[in-house]
Structure 1
């Protein structure tokens, strides 16, 4: 199991921890293997981004809303986890399936990246190859989050993880899924945000953010900065995307600005 391989060689506060693994037989006599993870009290990020009270499977879900300061905190947590996988492990690890349902939140709203079923471990090739095209099997990610180069047969890459992260970041601050019905023909979440920057940014952000703080100038400036990061990460060309280390640094600076305006996570 690729998840076991990854979790054996990783240790980071923003990666979901495995508690145990088991192999057993179900009531029909079929053998199965399972991984037991630590409990995440606040569930997945996907549920916190579901503002219409309806999950993707059509079932009703209790409405939840993220506070403004929680959003950059979670964004930094996820980016830090990806940076660790790409840059600070003995072997470069490509997650391959980054999306809101694979980001879990604990009781303090700290984000933990999980689900390494599609992860790829790259250890014997150059940084340039890892970044743009590895020799491993192509990744099958989620529709809307998977990098466009995969449709052209490109292989797993760290910069494709950055694309998925960029879409996730845009979703966190607009409240719009990349698979929403409004996105069809040539309109994508990336294009919507890019075309709104900077003057119309308040027209496309999550309405809950404005209801919480109102259209203040400092709020608009910081939203523009964050959404520009999301746009830069989700550029169509892999070579035009931000490096994940730069993403972490930029978001940390924005978080400090928010804190200077009195925003704190209780």
Structure 2
């Protein structure tokens, strides 16, 4: 099969398409003929050598496609089913991928739309679970307009929370459409939030990693009410929880998202799609910023 791989660390130019043996599903897993695979910031961190040290490495943790092989003991899916989910081996950007956690693709979604879901909804759900977000409280999300941030906004609204989200002015209308009250990030953030919530907020989630943890701690009345997914150094310095996948993934998010999508309570836009062979261009677009929604690779 064709798959994305790199043999040395560096810029997007190190990415290539190579021939690899077809993977086989293990117990409880399914193999899919990949139709679309998501691209995430963790991909370029991995490519730069900031995550795993071994070489060579394949790419991709989320994909959508059609099941063509079942692992031993799989009873909740059949060959030919359309599914989306996680490749824990990090090899989803390929013609074939083994999914360890998966769910049916909602009827209204195409393959690119489904491939955009897993990482964003898992990360958002994990952080909301760690914060114990529920009804009746106010949640401040720093960096609310990106894929994870917008997922967190919608999932928190579904839980009954009041959500205040930071974003650039160009994305304020988008945040309102998701059910959040937007504020501009940058200098004066605390005053703008207090204009909406004079007593501060109950909880805060940092998605952007823009150095605002002290402000979030002050607004949420203590580091125990703040979670970051983007500022590891700041979390250590200020005693804030840093949410990471190796501490337990919220894979239960996959099973419940279909109903929210079909009832109009959740959506995650696909910003751009690229053929698998143009994976380097997808990385350049993602690293350049200013992308609202997910980047997705298409597999013929």
Q: Which has the higher helix share?
A: 1
Q: Same fold (TM over 0.5)?
A: no
TM-score, L = length of structure 1: 0.29
